[in-house]
């Protein structure tokens, strides 16, 4: 059988397993933790990295607090890495130093959202229930951060004078504490830190389409992007010429694909991976559910081998203008970290 014939046959099979669901109404007020975090991201953000530290600690079986030793934080990162749960964090390389010197870390945060846009990159973090803001302030002071005049003002580390800037990620150069809201904000620039605080107070951002955010479950960690960003970051144009040409042939054989309005890939409790793609209409969502399912079960040019070597496609569903792919990772596969950047054929535009 030719490759075109095989793909057509597979398309028929995939069509049979596509489940069409009713779109969720706008009156659904049950907002997920991720949706609440995304609402606090700066409005020009195009890429988001979500880590639910409370859920990650629970998933790997660790109960940590501010007094936990550095080795316990290292254990958290190692276990999280093995479960493909921590590729999304912006705090990984700084976690141990944070625990030892800043008074907060992945051991005591509830969740973290790293937002990136054309002008600023910001960290929005919710404190865990036992985080002591006075303790954090004292540790920041000891670490060399300049104390602000206002309670919620930015604590600023001087890259020239303060050693702490050489051992933490740049995103922790400026940190703001909002005890009343239970939040912490950080950035490598004052503009970014202020943007994070303003957005956290307003909770008015809708950078991602509502249908995509609504369709995303409660991931332990996830990488998300606006449509334009996903179509760029995951494009087959990032592959070499040979792989790019193979990708074009596979897409032509599979059927129509349309640009994305939003994209998410994340790990849900139990280790399964969920991919969500948004489209401009329900008709396009149904079409792409079939064609992209074909692509997700075939060769992976640019990544190497076949997608089936990384995961099994267990279910495809359509809810309004969003398509949800439920993936079961193969043992030892790091699906989220591997497929959060391109080229990813089944997410191409």
Report the alpha-carbon distance of residue 114 to residue 111 in Å, rounded. 10
Give the residue-averaged pLDDT of 178-184.
95
DSSP letter at 23 equals: P
SS3 36: helix
For 200-222, the pLDDT digits (tens) are: 776 656 789 999 999 998 999 99
Query: Of residues 20 and 177, which shows the higher confidence score?
Result: 177
Q: CB of 265 within 8 A of CB of 274? A: yes
Global pTM reads 0.89
Q: Mean pLDDT throughout 177-196?
A: 94
Query: How many CB atoms are located within 10 Å of the residue 182 CB?
Result: 14
**Which 3-state string (H, E, C) describes 239-306?**
CCHHHHHHHHHHHHHHCCCCCCCEEEEEECCCCCEEEEEECCCHHHHHHHHHHHHHHHCCECCCCCCE
Specify the pLDDT at position 152.
Answer: 87
pLDDT of residue 159: 83
Domain locations in the chain as residue ranges: 3-26+209-347, 40-202
pLDDT above 70 covers a percentage of the chain that reads 90
Is residue 251 predicted with pLDDT exceeding 80?
yes
Q: What is the pLDDT of residues 33-76, one digit of tens each?
A: 999 999 999 989 999 999 999 999 999 999 999 999 999 999 99
DSSP string for 212-241:
HHHH----SEEEEEEHHHHHHHT-GGGS-H
At 11 the pLDDT is 39
Residue with tokens 């409370």: 54
Q: What is the pLDDT of residue 204?
A: 55
Given strand 183-187, what is the order of strands in its sheet? 18-21, 311-319, 322-329, 273-278, 262-267, 221-226, 47-51, 109-116, 121-127, 183-187, 174-178, 154-156
Provide the mean pLDDT of the chain.
89
Residues 6+ apart with CB under 8 A from 144: 157, 158, 161, 162, 163, 164
Between CA 250 and CA 308 the distance in angstroms is 15
pLDDT: which is higher, 195 or 26: 195
pLDDT per position as a tens digit, 306-349: 999 999 999 999 999 999 999 999 999 999 999 998 899 999 99
């Amino acid at each position: 059988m030719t490759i075109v014939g095989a793909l057509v046959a597979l398309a028929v099979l995939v069509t049979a397993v596509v489940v069409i669901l009713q779109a969720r109404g706008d009156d659904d007020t049950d907002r997920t933790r991720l949706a609440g975090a995304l609402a606090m991201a700066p409005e020009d953000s195009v890429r988001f990295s979500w880590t639910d530290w409370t859920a990650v600690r629970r998933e790997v079986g660790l109960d940590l607090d501010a007094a936990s030793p550095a080795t316990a934080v290292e254990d958290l990162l190692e276990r999280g890495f093995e479960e493909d749960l921590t590729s999304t964090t912006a705090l990984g390389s700084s976690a141990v130093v944070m625990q030892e010197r800043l008074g907060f870390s992945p051991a005591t945060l509830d969740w973290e959202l790293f937002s990136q846009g054309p002008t600023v990159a910001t960290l929005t973090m919710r404190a865990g229930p036992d985080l002591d803001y006075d303790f954090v302030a004292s540790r920041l002071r000891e670490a060399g951060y300049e104390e602000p005049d206002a309670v919620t003002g930015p604590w600023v580390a001087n890259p020239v004078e303060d050693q702490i800037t050489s051992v933490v990620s740049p995103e922790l150069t400026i940190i703001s504490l909002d005890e009343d809201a239970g939040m912490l904000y950080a950035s490598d620039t004052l503009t970014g830190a202020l943007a994070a605080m303003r957005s956290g107070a307003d909770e008015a951002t809708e950078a991602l389409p509502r249908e995509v955010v609504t369709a995303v479950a409660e991931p332990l960690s996830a990488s998300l992007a606006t449509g334009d960003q996903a179509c760029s970051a995951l494009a087959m144009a990032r592959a070499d010429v040979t792989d790019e040409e193979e990708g074009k042939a596979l897409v032509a054989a599979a059927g129509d694909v349309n640009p994305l309005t939003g994209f998410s890939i994340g790990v849900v409790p139990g280790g399964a991976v969920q991919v969500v793609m948004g489209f401009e209409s329900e008709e396009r969502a149904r079409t792409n559910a079939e064609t992209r399912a074909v692509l997700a079960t075939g060769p992976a040019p640019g990544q190497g081998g076949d997608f089936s070597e990384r995961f099994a496609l267990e279910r495809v569903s359509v809810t309004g203008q969003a398509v949800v792919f439920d993936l079961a990772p193969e043992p030892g596969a790091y699906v989220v970290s591997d497929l959060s950047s391109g080229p990813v054929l089944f997410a191409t535009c």
